[in-house]
Amino acid sequence: MIINTGGRTDTVQYYTEWLLHRFKEGYVLTRNPLFPGKVNQYELTPDKVDCVVFCSKNYKPILPRLHEITDHFNTYFHYTITAYGKDIEPGVPSIDESMETLAELSGLVGKQRIAWRYDPVFLTKEYTIEQHLETFGRMAAKLAPYIDRCIFSFVEMYKKLEVNMPELLPLSVQDMDMLAQGLGAIADKYGIFIQTCGTNGDFTRYGIHSSGCMTLDILGRANGIAFKDRKHKGMRQGCHCIESRDIGAYDTCMNGCKYCYANKNSWKAFDNFKLHDPKSPLLLGAVKPEDTVIQGAQKAFRKEREGG
């Protein structure tokens, strides 16, 4: 089983104490987003969890105690650092501070376990193609010694984003081609393996790979372990990533990113934070008498493990 800590919220930045306590107690509860009365329980033990995948925009809060997880589990870390400022990502540290934290994280877990995510890529009057390439180049020069790969994707225009970000400019095929060509050239200059996430197009002509960003091959090589050859459907249409179980909750991330898909609106996350108890097995609130708690399926992916 693969545990995902950061798909629905930035657990590392805002819920570090809760996350560490869950691993200490050896289990976690998560509500089904579609059926809130149904609660899944997952065992957080090395014999049940093949790898813990993190995704965050600020690992600083967990660094002093990260060993409490890495000492016992296989891990992989996605670190999102973009070209945007507080106007787009109000709760995210500055680029320079984020890069310093990534370097510190790399020193603790090793570069082979870190993917730098530069996404989503979009255009506004301020964040132009030239601005993206200039910022990406500065970041690549700094981060190259500390990462396994760089993953980027172009923004997907869903309805909520059209409302939240009226400043977005249409991203044409020509724009994406110019950006991909520039990102590919910069990555090549600094020896960075670069790939897309999802189905944004084929840019292999620019040295950009299209493999999934959370595959058993990536996780296995990063941790020196072998996985079974399993067929899977991906996390969503067009996705090549192995299935995982997210232990977070929607509407709980207080980064306030304008492009966020996991929050209905920014204020709701702050309201929900009031319901958070670091000692609860649930990220928000507690189990209710009317809830149905079931043991979630935990498939074994590692070759030496059977069953699950």
Report the pLDDT value the prediction gives residue 257, as an integer from 0 to 100. Answer: 94
Cross-strand bridge partners of residue 2: 51
How many CB atoms are closer than 10 A to CB 97? 13
Cα separations in angstroms, 97 against 59, 197, 283, 289, 304: 11, 25, 27, 45, 41
SS3 state at 221: helix
Distance, CA of 259 to CA of 122 (rounded, Å): 10
Across the chain, which has 308 residues, the per-10-residue mean pLDDT values are: 94 98 98 94 96 97 98 98 97 98 98 97 97 98 98 87 89 96 98 86 92 86 87 52 90 94 86 96 96 93 64
- The residue behind tokens 């095929």 is 173
Cα separations in angstroms, 242 against 8, 53, 126: 17, 11, 36
Report the pLDDT value the prediction gives residue 306, as an integer from 0 to 100. Answer: 45
Report the pLDDT value the prediction gives residue 199, as an integer from 0 to 100. Answer: 61
Report pTM: 0.93
| Beta carbons of 141 and 95 less than 8 angstroms apart | no
